[in-house]
Structure 1
Amino acid sequence: MAFKIFLSPPQICGQEQRYVSDVFKSNYIAPLGAFVNRFEEDIKAYTRSPNALALNAGTAALHLALRVSGIRKGDIVLASSFTFIGSIDAILYQGAIPVFIDSDLDSWNLDPKLLLSAINALPKKPKALILTHLYGQCAKVYEIMEICKEHGILLIEDAAESLGAFYDGRHSGSFGEFSALSFNGNKIITCGGGGMLLGKDKEKMEKARFYSTQARENLPYYEHLDYGYNYRLSNVCAAIGVGQLEQIEQKVAKRREIFKWYKESLSQIEHKLEFMPEIPNSRGNRWLSTLRFLDYKINPLALVNYLAKEGIESRPLWKPMHLQPLFRDSKSFVNGVSQKLFESGICLPSGGALEKNDIDLISSLILDFIKSC
């Protein structure tokens, strides 16, 4: 059946249409253009990052970060296990070996203690860590940074879900050497599709820019001394992104309000559930409102199906990478947390157009479902 309430649909309500019209009037639709440059500058200003590169996907950003950092076939790259596969695909593109690190219950993000144990246990020194800030909530990035610094491991932040999230007053993705943002259709801001690479080293970022445009030499004809990719963002998509980014603080405020409404509406059963925590000294963007049930009798997948019959889209939490058939032979350091979250958790509708009565309806259906368990 068709959904009446989606999980996280795009919300176009600013200057996006006018900016896209400007692009069409200029007839400079692709590959690049003024709005691509403007989008990069606006992202730099908001995140306080020194360099930004607009790309067609967050995965492309992670891939370029690994390549310009010299990650090669056979190198070990550590990664959050509790994440979307796009975080890991980039490792495979370079022929590197992913090693997965489980989460802790304090943050649902990568466990720093387990990270240290993994580094000490591995026979070969890892070259990099891709750290995911899950569902828009910041990981314990200071602890993780210190461990990476001590062991000479490159820190790359997967901030694809966490635009608008801050830790200690600094934007997520501003701690590591590189970070990736995503503007997919379901993200807190969208270009319809797209991503951004942020980085501290200007020379490496320029190399990433070079690779992102097919590694074409600066000549009047096409000459290639190396191979690259068709990874750049179009001017049309960037125009949408510029309009979306102008509203980022309002969008974060609304998502956080939606989360607050869920907590209030489900307060009578708070002993049976736990919402994703927000670690001290941080402000998550609450891109998705997520929770796990503490009562093992409540089946989240059955709840997803129950809500779907009422025209409401939801989904289970991510299935950890170390449980994916693709990675059955990969090494992982686990404590059972992400598996427990996957088996007991759910992502609730969180789109910015939702109102209090929508949340009350969804919550009432959840309550009805739980009573039937």
Structure 2
Amino acid sequence: MDFQIPLSFPVFGGNENSYTQEVINSGCLATKGKFLDRLEIALAEKLVPHQAIGLNSGTSALHLAMRLLGIGPGDEVVCQSFTFCASANPILYLGATPIFVDSEQYSWNICPELLEDAILSRMAKGVKPKAIVVVHLFGMPARMKEILDVSKKYEIPVLEDAAEAVGSSYMGTACGTLGQIGVFSFNGNKIITGGGGGALISQDSSVLRRAKHLSTQAREDVHYYLHKEIGHNYRMNNISAAIILAQLEQLDVFVAKRRAVNLRYRNLLKDIPGIEFQSDSEETASNFWLTAILIDNEKTGFSNEELMLGLRSRRIESRFLWKPLHTQPVFNSCRYYGRGVATGLFARGLCLPSSVNLTLEDQEVIVEIIQEKLTKTFT
């Protein structure tokens, strides 16, 4: 369907056209070029003292990060259940096994207490998890202090999936720089985009050098093609880098606008019973990539699916929250530690249109549809 109001639509109002034309004129469209270099420098300036390697997707970045952490056949990796499958699929690529952990109620991210329970349970069975995958869901930072305390206590590294959290911060520190390795995504619907692309983030220069080497098919630095190990075709191309760089130059504006969209939704919906929002706190500064709500159908009289269909009938896009990975058929043999929070969030949640260029008038139309649903239920 061609949506009149899409869920998350890119805005190109900066140097995208001029940078792209410069790349085309140069003929350097592949995985070398000045815009790829410039993008990595610009990311490093925002993430000091961390640096970034440009890759072709967030999933590639996750896969490469797991390989750099030494994850392999027979290993177990603790992973947030309430997330997109790309957070866990690379665990299987490497022959390891995901151990899924439930969310906590407020940020909707991995619960630190259950994380520790899962680690202790696995260690009691003689298996120490190789890594912890933490996701900042919809841009909302996880409870990183508590998570990093668990990581340090058991000496298990944190892989920080900040695919949805470019521009978010926790206690004043950029998401993506809090764990041992972080990743970003620049997919077409993210807060900044090149139509695709990702980045691997680390403070360790040796990790970054190895990531760059492996992302270019592990080609040795000689004048012919020499390969001593298996690599990947994961490097970002120069034309994507040019677009992402132009978007990165506007990141602060984009974050401010997405946060403003979220605040308007909160104000417009504050008097409607049965509507809740993902909780921000004094420690967190979410980019609010997507504004998501929970619907208590006993109070509203309608479900998340009924509202989604109502919006769809008016050519307005919305989306369910992620279906927890421990409930997905492809992961049905994996262990899960939880109390049903993530499944409850999925049953009640809906992501609302959140684009940078979403207008107040657009949001008022969306809220009118919610109010219509409410009125029809209780009249």
Distance 1:35 1:49 in 2: 21
| Identity among equivalent pairs (%) | 41
Q: TM-score with structure 2 length normalisation?
A: 0.96
Distance 1:336 1:246 in 2: 41
Within-5 A mapping of 1:217-366: 217-269=220-272, 271-296=273-298, 297-366=301-370
Structure 1 residue 371, shift from structure 2 partner: 2.7
- Post-superposition Cα deviations, 1:63-97, rounded to whole Å, max 9, x if no partner, equal 11111121111101001101011111111111111
Distance 1:88 1:49 in 2: 28
User: Match of 1:89?
Assistant: 89
User: Match of 1:67?
Assistant: 67
Distance 2:237 2:206 in 1: 23
Secondary structure of the corresponding residue to residue 134 of structure 2: strand
Equivalent residue letter for 2:66 = L
Within-5 A mapping of 1:124-203: 124-203=127-206
Secondary structure of the corresponding residue to residue 42 of structure 2: helix
Equivalent residue letter for 2:372 = D
Equivalent residue letter for 1:263 = R
Distance 1:256 1:331 in 2: 36
User: Match of 1:52?
Assistant: 52
Distance 1:298 1:96 in 2: 41
Equivalent residue letter for 2:283 = N
User: Match of 1:2?
Assistant: 2
Equivalent residues of 2:318, 2:352 under 8 A apart: yes
Equivalent residues of 1:163, 1:188 under 8 A apart: yes
Distance 2:249 2:335 in 1: 42
Q: TM-score with structure 1 length normalisation?
A: 0.98
- Post-superposition Cα deviations, 1:303-340, rounded to whole Å, max 9, x if no partner, equal 11111110000011110101111111100101111100
Equivalent residue letter for 1:370 = L
Secondary structure of the corresponding residue to residue 179 of structure 1: strand
Structure 1 residue 49, shift from structure 2 partner: 4.4
Distance 2:370 2:232 in 1: 46
Deviates more, 1:282-291 or 1:272-281: 272-281
Distance 1:298 1:261 in 2: 22
Equivalent residue letter for 1:293 = I
Distance 1:198 1:371 in 2: 49
- Post-superposition Cα deviations, 1:43-65, rounded to whole Å, max 9, x if no partner, equal 11112242210000011111111
- Post-superposition Cα deviations, 1:25-57, rounded to whole Å, max 9, x if no partner, equal 211111221100111111111122422100000
Structure 1 residue 14, shift from structure 2 partner: 0.5
Does residue 120 in structure 1 map to residue 123 in structure 2?
Answer: no
Distance 1:353 1:49 in 2: 32
Secondary structure of the corresponding residue to residue 87 of structure 2: helix
Within-5 A mapping of 1:199-218: 199-218=202-221
User: Match of 1:11?
Assistant: 11
User: Match of 1:78?
Assistant: 78
Equivalent residues of 1:193, 1:237 under 8 A apart: yes
Structure 1 residue 294, shift from structure 2 partner: 2.4
Equivalent residues of 1:53, 1:198 under 8 A apart: yes
Distance 1:349 1:159 in 2: 20
- Post-superposition Cα deviations, 1:281-302, rounded to whole Å, max 9, x if no partner, equal 2110010010101234421112
Equivalent residues of 1:273, 1:295 under 8 A apart: no
- Point out where structure 1 has 5 or more consecutive residues left out of the alignment: none
Equivalent residue letter for 2:309 = N
Structure 1 residue 187, shift from structure 2 partner: 0.2
What RMSD over aligned residues (CA atoms) do the two structures have, in Å? 1.0
Structure 1 residue 10, shift from structure 2 partner: 1.1
Secondary structure of the corresponding residue to residue 8 of structure 2: coil
Structure 1 residue 200, shift from structure 2 partner: 2.0
Alignment coverage as a number of residue pairs:
372
